[in-house]
Structure 1
């Protein structure tokens, strides 16, 4: 246990736990190679999954009858603070190629199956870890499948299998037969991770297509509504603009939800008639908190709520957003991350005039507090390198003119990207390539911009491994910068 204390200190205190933990493991692997207890990925997972007995106190029983207290079997990781658990699970997801996928899936599955109440971020991190594993087909929910194939992580290389096919020794200096080696390997799920990943993306595309078809986004012609429905919508619109009390606003939210969900195919048209975005921020925050269908996974309704209540307010935002509105938005986006991506983040960043400082602050907070790091990384990949159909935008037809198909590069957009990098969101090589290309195109326009210079400095600090092929290009970009930051950036580039 003592040898792992520095690693747990990183997860407890470091502002960048994933990168520091990865660096610590790299150093410790080589330093402990000659040690009696070497540091390995397998030993770390074994420690995390070590079973322990925890005492469970039942407060509902009198103190005299609650003794002796009952015990519950838990893993070592479940005894750690919630923040540490979340960071460890996120780290395992980002560095999953170093670990056995079967063990990672078992760890995440056990955390999710625990009887105790899970912290929100621990649950999210465990779900993301399980989703990223090759054996996360969710067959374990209805019944475990007993048909497994060999796990590539711990299987014998093909050359060793062939050399021992006729009963010969596998290695002349190692008198171990193929049977003995095979007996030490473990079995795992046969699903290929790439196929699983592509299937998830395909399923997501199908879901989004269904949502867009259901919402009739591409058809600017309003759906014809019955006169009675139109009359009710106009009445609700008047109530939205007239805030009286919290209780009445909650009742109003219930009426809007009931009317829209009863007329599911026309719900977007109904919301367009009600115009909930015209409500003041306090009313909008109450509506957002109570416009729920009871299912966190329902993408269509959550997208409609965001694009009709919050998005129109933020698209025209010119001053600092109110705390009550931002807090309600962040909490809603935590529960509906995919809806947040398509009905809020993409439309805002693809704003016709580009984002400004107030919009940048709201987007940065949503990404930081509502999205998991892996989800934020995927979002950036689609934003920077995705095709037009990958950057799907969900909005009301009356607000479509405020949104374009391409990013408008402003100082605030560079500030947003800097905030994302400082949040330790991992960018891919292709994303970094696109950023460098845009910086090259815009170097002269933003030659006097301190925000652009700060972004370049942050990019060099955070993404230096990806910038080596672009060293000369970035040097030319920085040489055009006329701020006092240019010398510091050039010094960083010289060390690449």
Structure 2
């Protein structure tokens, strides 16, 4: 364990963990003074089985029963963000590790029945896709077996004397009228085409997974049975008539039973019940009791969030009530994926743009509920126009309040400044898109101090990645006239 502590420190704290971890691993192998630094020992550590204690929560039918143990891998005891980074690193450096061991690790994670973070599953699936196909390297080695069958069997590889003879000879084999450079060029073209097709297939697969998980909101669904519709309308009247908080728990149980009956469209039923019309105190209790600690992040758990909290925040003009914000934050801490797709995406994509009150709520959720690495990924999807990244969950009756494009306001620039101050490291493509937006917005926000403060923070925090944009940013800042304009120009001059 001890030799790998620096590597785990990189996964935990580095803004670019995959690149820095690859550099550290290369340096460690080159040193070769520590025999424990081997790729096999790292995978053995990650896959080491341990007994984890399962503690009963308050919702358990028998909270007094003794805790149970479950056999899990040591890697699964790490934070979700660290697990995701490790799996991404293994995908990048998969050639340094044993393919069957990588496949086993990814499959063990994907085989978990539940409780695995969305981003961890995604990274594990990417690793499995990476190591599950041949890359045609066996052609250039003239190995008649597949790469997967022969990668570890040294007796099936070419002997050294034949490799040396092949290197020394201009022709690959005397009886073949094929030059080495011609063969390698053909293999390279075939491999590039295969890898390009594989990449497209992986991207399509990921896009389909997101669409399938969240559902297509534009799909025409079967009409709700008349009897079920009447029950939903009755529950709506009871929600509006609630006077005592003691009545909310029982009502939440009835709503959950109605919506989660097999085959029913819970999103449409919640649209009929209209729980967002309850006051903030009643809504907070409903939010806490409807989830019952179970459900799919991009299903029932997201539906609860977008039917109680999202409608209230979409029309928010004044600071949100303390009880609503506190309950929402506690919910989002536990259900982070639901928070991203059922709250953050639709709020930031609000047609009227983000105002100060909404900016304050989003800032608190980001700071208190999400890891900076997840926020960086969220920003990349938001800025770089990935179709499957801008999908979100909302009720059909609220879709008219949400756009698929960002509306840039003073408060939105302030929100990005808050994220940068929260130690969120933006990717290069996110920064490229931000620079383009800054250039387009300079005239409109030329006297906005919030816009100027974001520019100053942007240059200070992202300076190493802005060198190629120095001229564009200087020209954009030159069109502004705020208290910080001169400071920004001096910072840019020093890049």
**Fold match (TM-score > 0.5):** yes
The superposition leaves residues 307-328 of structure 1 with CA deviations (integer Å, 9 ceiling, x where unpaired) of 3211111112233334442343
Once the two structures are TM-superposed, the CA of residue 161 in structure 1 deviates from its matched residue by 4.4
1:364 aligns with 2:363: yes
Partners of 1:461 and 1:93 in 2: CA distance: 31
1:42 aligns with 2:68: no
Partners of 1:53 and 1:300 in 2: CA distance: 31
Partners of 1:112 and 1:45 in 2: CA distance: 20
Match of 1:99 in 2: 93
Match of 1:283 in 2: 282
1:242 aligns with 2:242: yes
Once the two structures are TM-superposed, the CA of residue 422 in structure 1 deviates from its matched residue by 4.6
Match of 1:131 in 2: 125
Q: Give the one of 201, 210, 222 matched to 1:204.
A: 210
Structure 2 unaligned blocks of 5 or more: 54-68, 145-156, 169-194
The superposition leaves residues 24-66 of structure 1 with CA deviations (integer Å, 9 ceiling, x where unpaired) of 763674487345238967267247348588899xxxxxxxxxx
My pick for the range that moved more, 301-310 or 191-200, is: 191-200
Q: Give the one of 22, 30, 33 matched to 1:33.
A: 30
Once the two structures are TM-superposed, the CA of residue 89 in structure 1 deviates from its matched residue by 2.0
The 5 A counterparts of 1:37-436 are 37=34, 42=39, 45-46=42-43, 48-49=45-46, 51=48, 85-86=79-80, 88-100=82-94, 102=99, 103-104=101-102, 106-107=104-105, 126-135=120-129, 159-161=140-142, 168-171=161-164, 195-213=201-219, 226=226, 229-230=229-230, 233-234=233-234, 236-246=236-246, 248-262=247-261, 267-268=266-267, 270-292=269-291, 296-297=295-296, 299-333=298-332, 339-368=338-367, 370=369, 376-386=375-385, 391-423=390-422, 427-436=426-435
CA gap 1:421/1:38 in 2 versus in 1, 3 angstroms: farther
Once the two structures are TM-superposed, the CA of residue 18 in structure 1 deviates from its matched residue by 4.5
Partners of 1:232 and 1:160 in 2: CA distance: 67
- Whether the 8 Å CA contact 1:415–1:455 is kept in 2: the answer is yes
Once the two structures are TM-superposed, the CA of residue 270 in structure 1 deviates from its matched residue by 4.3
- Whether the 8 Å CA contact 1:32–1:38 is kept in 2: the answer is no
CA gap 1:95/1:27 in 2 versus in 1, 3 angstroms: closer
- Whether the 8 Å CA contact 2:384–2:429 is kept in 1: the answer is yes
3-state DSSP of counterpart to 1:351: coil
3-state DSSP of counterpart to 1:95: helix
Once the two structures are TM-superposed, the CA of residue 418 in structure 1 deviates from its matched residue by 2.9
- Whether the 8 Å CA contact 2:18–2:88 is kept in 1: the answer is no
Partners of 1:24 and 1:387 in 2: CA distance: 27
- Whether the 8 Å CA contact 1:277–1:313 is kept in 2: the answer is yes
Partners of 2:28 and 2:3 in 1: CA distance: 12
Partners of 2:265 and 2:75 in 1: CA distance: 48
Once the two structures are TM-superposed, the CA of residue 201 in structure 1 deviates from its matched residue by 1.5
Partners of 2:282 and 2:370 in 1: CA distance: 25
Match of 1:439 in 2: 438
Once the two structures are TM-superposed, the CA of residue 408 in structure 1 deviates from its matched residue by 1.4
Once the two structures are TM-superposed, the CA of residue 106 in structure 1 deviates from its matched residue by 4.0
CA gap 1:387/1:170 in 2 versus in 1, 3 angstroms: closer
Partners of 1:423 and 1:41 in 2: CA distance: 36
The 5 A counterparts of 1:447-486 are 447-464=446-463, 466-486=465-485
Q: TM-score, normalised by structure 1?
A: 0.69
CA gap 1:346/1:485 in 2 versus in 1, 3 angstroms: same
- Whether the 8 Å CA contact 1:109–1:126 is kept in 2: the answer is no
Partners of 2:297 and 2:44 in 1: CA distance: 38
Partners of 1:77 and 1:342 in 2: CA distance: 27
CA gap 1:423/1:489 in 2 versus in 1, 3 angstroms: same
Partners of 1:413 and 1:33 in 2: CA distance: 47
Partners of 2:39 and 2:81 in 1: CA distance: 18
3-state DSSP of counterpart to 2:450: helix
CA gap 1:5/1:428 in 2 versus in 1, 3 angstroms: closer
3-state DSSP of counterpart to 1:321: coil
My pick for the range that moved more, 250-259 or 383-392, is: 383-392
Partners of 1:33 and 1:456 in 2: CA distance: 42
Partners of 1:368 and 1:85 in 2: CA distance: 17
Q: What number of residue pairs does the alignment pair up? A: 438
Q: TM-score, normalised by structure 2?
A: 0.69
